[in-house]
Amino acid sequence: MDKFRMIFQFLQSNQESFMNGICGIMALASAQMYSAFDFNCPCLPHYNLAYGLGILLVPPFILFLLGFVLNNNVSMLAEEWRRPRGQRGKDPAVLRYMFCSMAQRAMIAPAVWVSVTLLDGKCITCAFCTLVPVETLGNTSHPGLSQGEMKQVLARIPCKEIYDGQELVANEVAIRYLRCISQALGWCFVLLMTMLAFLVRSLRPCFTQAAFLKSRYWSHYIDIERKLFDETCAEHARSFAKVCIQQFFEGMSTDLAAAHCHPPRKVPVDMGEAAEKLLGITDQGTMNTALKSWHRCKPPLHLHSPALPSSCGWAGEGQPPMQPPMQSPMQPPMPRREMAAYYSRV
Calculated CA dihedral for residues 216, 69, 227, 97, nearest 10 degrees: 10
Q: How far apart are CA 118 and CA 96, in angstroms?
A: 31
Banded model confidence at residue 88, pLDDT cuts 50, 70, 90 = confident
What is the identity of the amino acid at 88?
R
Instruction: Determine the pLDDT at residue 345.
Output: 44
Three-state SS for 309? Answer: coil
Banded model confidence at residue 28, pLDDT cuts 50, 70, 90 = confident
Banded model confidence at residue 272, pLDDT cuts 50, 70, 90 = low
| Average pLDDT of the residues in 266-286 | 65
> What is residue 297's DSSP assignment?
S
The predicted-structure confidence for 206-222, as pLDDT tens digits, reads as follows: 767 777 778 888 888 88
Q: Pick the residue with more confidence: 326 or 167?
A: 167
What percent of the chain clears pLDDT 90, i.e. is strictly above it? 13
| Domains of the chain, residue spans | 20-208
Nearest partner of 126 among 45, 31, 35, judged by Cα? 45
Instruction: Determine the pLDDT at residue 271.
Output: 57
Q: How far apart are CA 319 and CA 313, in angstroms?
A: 11
The predicted-structure confidence for 51-60, as pLDDT tens digits, reads as follows: 999 999 998 9
What is the identity of the amino acid at 5?
R
Q: What's the chain's length in residues?
A: 346
Q: How many other CB atoms sit within 10 Å of the CB of residue 140? A: 8
Q: Let me know: does 36 contact 122? Beta carbons within 8 Å.
A: no
Statement: residue 73 has pLDDT above 70: yes
Instruction: Determine the pLDDT at residue 341.
Output: 46
pTM for this prediction: 0.66
| Average pLDDT of the residues in 296-300 | 71
Q: How far apart are CA 67 and CA 19, in angstroms?
A: 10
State the greatest distance between any 2 C-alpha atoms of the chain, in Å, as a whole number: 124
Percentages helix, strand, coil for the chain (3-state, rounded to 5) are 65, 0, 35
